[in-house]
Amino acid sequence: MSELVGELLTLVIMAFALGMDAFSVGLGMGMYKLRLRKIFEIGITIGIFHVWMPLVGLLTGKFLSEKFGTFASLIGGLLLIVLGLQMIWASLKKGDEKVITPVGFGLLLFALSVSLDSFSVGLTLGIYGAKIVLVLISFGVVATVLTWAGLLLGKKVQGWLGNYSEALGGAILLAFGLKLILPLW
């Protein structure tokens, strides 16, 4: 029983670390004018991706090389940079329609960008034989809650910053994307 509690505690800590990027990116995306229902949907979507991506990673972990983790971080970083630059560009073009928003395809890009690292961790956990159900529940619940927290905090900050909030949100996404990519070079 204590072994199960130890594994669960380890997985929750790991899920918290992985979910912090969802929080950070949620903070940036929360600066869009979002209704609470949309925030709820975004959090659930991120949670589903944080279940799906490590599941795929767990199931294929025995077959993929260590280099794939670096590739996943690179793709995730590039997606965040694109989203960040788009938000900054959109804030400078007043009155124009945004290219990427946290709805539809933009939401899927957002969810994918913050979930790619959980795929990489899933690869590692698959190699070590972690309990799949514990991994998926831990990752999904923690990512959902942290995303909601980031989006709600971003929504508050957006009200304080007015027109500059979208540019700040884009800068956060850009910085986080660069943070993912720069250690790889």
Domain boundaries, the chain: 2-184
With 90 as the cut, is the pLDDT of residue 66 above it?
A: no
Among residues 108, 83, 85, 89, which one has the least CA distance to residue 29? 83
For 33-97, give the DSSP string: ---HHHHHHHHHHHHHHHHHHHHHHHHHTTTS-THHHHHHHHHHHHHHHHHHHHHHHHHHSTTSP
Among residues 99, 98, 116, which one has the least CA distance to residue 18? 116
User: What does pTM read for this prediction?
Assistant: 0.71
Q: What is the pLDDT of residue 44?
A: 95
CA pair distance 43, 155, nearest whole angstrom: 14
Least confident segment among 30-39, 117-126, 157-166: 157-166
pLDDT class of 163 with cuts at 50, 70, 90: low
For 111-158, give the DSSP string: HHHHHHHHHHHHHHHHHHT--HHHHHHHHHHHHHHHHHHHHHHHHHHH
